[in-house]
Amino acid sequence: MTILSSGEAIGRLRADRAILLARVAGLTEEQLGSECLVDSRPLGDFCRSLHDLVAHVLMWDEINLAVLAEAAAGREHWSLDARWEDPAVGRSLNIGGVEAGRHLSPWLLLHRSGAVHDAILEELGRVGEESWDEVGALAQRVWTVPGHPAFWHAAIHLGQAVRGSL
């Protein structure tokens, strides 16, 4: 596996966020909560709407930001333990995260998502070249949806073509 440069990783994360924001821009709360079909199928068995997708991507980003923070402190984040990497456990975590997000307004989720996204970009931007191979490999591992190119998430769920992918 080729590790993307920090610029490529940050570029993909920015592009993925832009795809999500473009898809939700101008929608009402009711529209964000209504059932959303992509490519004639639901977003996933745990996402029924764009509101759910925002919650799901936010949860993923918050966990991955914590992975980076723990790594910087010399610890391994709980989500990297093999017990959490089981597909059934991951599915349960996704369902729970989306359900929790359903109790918040989409505007609060988008606000929180923006803050988390900015923190991720700041954290990755802080990594020097001498540390990038290690940090970049970890970041690429956790920001890869199985079977898809690294650093794309919302775009994958929305069925968007991703350019410049591995």
How do the pLDDT tens digits run along the chain, 166 residues long?
799 999 999 999 999 999 999 999 999 999 999 988 665 455 667 888 999 999 999 999 999 999 999 999 999 999 999 998 888 898 899 899 999 999 999 999 999 999 999 999 999 999 988 899 999 999 999 999 888 899 999 999 888 866 655 4
User: Which SS3 state, helix, strand or coil, does residue 49 take?
Assistant: strand
Alpha helices (H) in the chain, listed in sequence order: 6-24, 29-33, 50-72, 87-101, 106-126, 129-142, 154-157
Pick the closest to residue 149 from 165, 160, 135 (CA basis): 165
Structural domains in the chain, CATH included, are 6-157 (1.20.120.450)
pTM: 0.91
Structure token digits, residue 134: 């290690």
User: Which SS3 state, helix, strand or coil, does residue 75 take?
Assistant: coil
Pick the closest to residue 64 from 129, 16, 2 (CA basis): 16
Q: Are 111 and 122 in contact (CB under 8 A)?
A: no
pLDDT of residue 154: 92
